[in-house]
Amino acid sequence: MEVKRPEWTSHFSFIAATVGSAVGLGNIWRFPYIMGKNGGAVFLLTYLLLIAFICIIPLCCELTMGKIYKKDAINTFSAINPKYKWFGWLCIFTVTLIPCFYFVVGGWILNYIWVFLTGNLPDNFAVYFSNFSSQIFMPCFLTILFLILTAIFPYRGVNSGIEKANNIMMPAFTLFLFILAVFALTLPGAKDGLLFMFKPDFSQFDKTMILTALGQALFTLSIGMGTILTYGSYMKENTNILKSAYTLIICDTIIAISAGIMIFPIVFSFGVQPSAGATLAFISMPQMFSELPFASVFGLVFFILLFFASITSGISMMETTVAAFMDNLNISRKKSTILTVFIIGLISIPATLSFGVLKDFKLCDKTIFDFLDYTTSNLFLPFNTLIICLIAGWCIPYFWEKAFGKGFIGSIFNILLKFIVPFILICVLVSGI
């Protein structure tokens, strides 16, 4: 018996869910740190141009494929041509690997929520973080706890689980973020922070920065692994693709920029290096909070914010895998969720331990955590996005009309889809390898 495919109950739910998927650690943690490393304002300008004119294309492709075929990633590609089924599996492989490192960070977030909730703040967060992350039991337990908390939503299904979670968490998240950003603007380093973000220094411009910006853009928009395609397959018939895609891009970008406005004034006020990198959220930020009045409250709000952002992204990653297993292995949603939890759990444990007992175990000279992060973001995402554009542009007749509309804009986007975007993606891939 054919089960009716669920649909988002409203346009708001659809936008909240796609924004929930896009906005995550990529915006709050990765975006400010990559911008810090790549010269601030020039990076921001490049990123904005790329996101508005390049990334919009694969984003529309995934939404349109979801809307047309109303299937999970694997069945969509095999419906286009049975020869492409392998590519559907590659998308599912990619999206199943991402939570294996992403949820490790989720576990750390849970730990910091606990630290700020109890108010037992350590004196030195650098020492604290390295001691904590290198333990065996606690980090693994928290990674698995984060995994199970996330899995509750796909387990319960699209309308009662995923939709409710996003409708509540995304507005709450945005509100928290704006409050913290306004607070940061009252700090003494606010002016320097804003100048760093918005006053371009064109001498910093180079071509590797363009590629870094593009990689970040794909990761933050959740493009290249069938996630947006799966969420698009629950879309109502009358939804306008181009408008939805731009809404998603604008929301994601406003949130990334707000995260910068929250972080850089603090960074400049406390004399931290903007390029401090991965440690920014887990060492510098809490260290700064602990020196402010009401430390526990600000710290708690910040990590709850990170929790919301990461869980809604985590839900979308898991839902992509769950939907694919359900449809292709012919199992129920509940069984499929359990299988997904089992696979992610199995790989995320060694990734968690790669900060402690397994830190000397290297794959291609990288720890397990870094290997997963590097290969998914820098190899699989650009490669998968390239194939999506090639399939959409060259293998589905009149695809561009369905995705972008027939007018002048549609024809320009068609040229971007067929030639320009694939060329740029090939450049990213070559430099990544």
Binding residues vs ligand PHE (CB under 6 A): 21-22, 24-27, 95, 98, 219-220, 222, 225, 227, 313, 316-317
Which one, 110 or 396, has the nearer CB to ligand PHE?
110
- Least Å from the CB of residue 22 to ligand PHE: 5
Between 52 and 121, CB nearer to ligand PHE: 52
Of 222 and 269, nearer to ligand PHE (C-beta) is 222
Least distance (Å) from ligand PHE to the CB of residue 97? 10
Return the number of other C-beta atoms located less than 10 Å from residue 11's C-beta. 16
Report the residue number, 187 or 229, with the smaller CB distance to ligand PHE: 229
Taking the least distance from each CB to ligand PHE, the nearer of 219 and 400 is 219
Whole-number minimum distance, CB 383 to ligand PHE, in Å? 14
> For the chain, how long is the longest CA-to-CA vector?
64
33 with 187: CB under 8 angstroms? no
Q: Which two tokens stand for residue 113?
A: 């929520």
8-state DSSP, 5:
P
Q: Are 370 and 383 contacting, i.e. CB atoms less than 8 angstroms apart?
A: no
Q: Which is nearer to ligand PHE, 27 or 290 (CB)?
A: 27
CB 168 within 8 A of CB 19: no
In angstroms, what is the minimal distance from the CB of 273 to ligand PHE?
23
Other CB atoms within a 10 A radius of the CB of residue 164 amount to 13
Work out the number of other CB atoms within 10 angstroms of the CB of residue 77.
28
What is the smallest separation between the CB atom of 140 and ligand PHE, expressed in angstroms?
22
| CA atoms of 392 and 403, how far apart (whole Å) | 10
Closest to 26 in 3D by CA, of 227, 290, 239, 299:
227
Instruction: State whether the Cα torsion 405-418-221-151 is positive or negative.
Output: positive
Question: Nearest distance from residue 431's CB to ligand PHE, in Å?
Answer: 21
Report the alpha-carbon distance of residue 111 to residue 306 in Å, rounded: 12
Smallest gap from Cβ 24 to ligand PHE, in A, equals 2
Residue 33 or 400 with smaller CB distance to ligand PHE: 33
Specify the amino acid at residue 26.
G
Q: What span, in angstroms and rounded, lies between the C-alpha atoms of 400 and 116?
A: 50
